[in-house]
Amino acid sequence: MKTVVMTGGTAGFGAVAAKRISNTRNTKLILGARDNKNSTIDILPLDLARLSNVRSFVQSLTKKLAGTKVDILIMNAGAQFGNTRHRTVDGFESTFAINHLAHYLLLRLLTPSLAKNATIVITTSDVHDPKHVPFGPKELDSEALAHPKDKSKGFGPGIRAYASSKLCNLLTARAFEAFTDAQINGMQVIAYNPGLTRGTSLFRAWLGGQS
């Protein structure tokens, strides 16, 4: 029996993936999500906009696992806003906090619960690369990403924040794969880039939501 833990499995292509995973033989899927309405999949409450909630999710998950290790960790949830004025309860810019900080914390807290030869999947995007997308970040300043002061009008700041968060996701994948524990335990890290996928709920976050 393989145990899979996933974020971003209640909407968009994540919901399709979650359904297929849950229907796979000898596989147990646990989703971390804010909404568990009309779901036949096992869900534990998780609000990525609250770092304290990430910690409580890990505590609940660890209790639920009762010593069982996580074979696959999929970090797919994401948000995109039309500007950088949104803040989480912790005071961080929401795109950076939800897409990067929360998932980074989740990965580090769950590392002791990952099985030998576990697989970690992080959803990335082409937008991180300025060679392919002109608004991609040319450098990263963690302080500026966490507390941006860009007052530009239009969607530019929001798009740049999203692109930067996706670069952070890619760098997290590379850094964790080089992590001593990951190498010793034969863990595999996959930075999954689905490309432009129409019909998902990502853009609903421009109105303040999270997919």
167's tokens: 């670069």
| Confidence at residue 108, expressed as pLDDT on a 0 to 100 scale | 96
CB 14 within 8 A of CB 211: yes
Angstrom CA distances, 144 to 140, 149, 190, stand at 8, 7, 27
| Confidence at residue 12, expressed as pLDDT on a 0 to 100 scale | 85
| Confidence at residue 155, expressed as pLDDT on a 0 to 100 scale | 76
Q: Mean of the per-residue pLDDT values for the chain?
A: 88
200 band by pLDDT with thresholds 50, 70 and 90? low
Domain boundaries in the chain?
Answer: 2-207
Choices 3.40.50.300, 3.30.450.20, 3.40.50.720, 3.90.1150.10: CATH for 2-207: 3.40.50.720
d(CA 155, CA 164): 14
Distance of CA 157 to the CA centre of its chain: 20
The rounded percent of the chain whose pLDDT value lies above 90 is 64
SS3 per residue for 70-97: EEEEEECCCCCCCCCCCECCCCCEHHHH
Residue with tokens 């609903």: 204
Strand, coil or helix: what is 11?
coil
Q: Is the pLDDT of residue 13 over 60?
A: yes
Give the mean pLDDT of 58-87: 95
Give the mean pLDDT of 150-163: 81
| Confidence at residue 190, expressed as pLDDT on a 0 to 100 scale | 96
Give the mean pLDDT of 61-83: 95
Per-residue pLDDT tens digits for 100-121: 999 999 999 999 999 999 999 9
Strand, coil or helix: what is 151?
coil
Residue 69 gets which letter from DSSP? P
Higher pLDDT, 158 or 105: 105
| Confidence at residue 207, expressed as pLDDT on a 0 to 100 scale | 44
d(CA 112, CA 2): 17
Give the mean pLDDT of 190-194: 89
Task: Give the chain's length.
Answer: 211
| Confidence at residue 208, expressed as pLDDT on a 0 to 100 scale | 42
| Confidence at residue 35, expressed as pLDDT on a 0 to 100 scale | 80
Angstrom CA distances, 32 to 41, 117, 147, 150, stand at 10, 22, 26, 32
Per-residue pLDDT tens digits for 115-152: 999 999 999 988 877 776 676 666 788 898 899 887 67
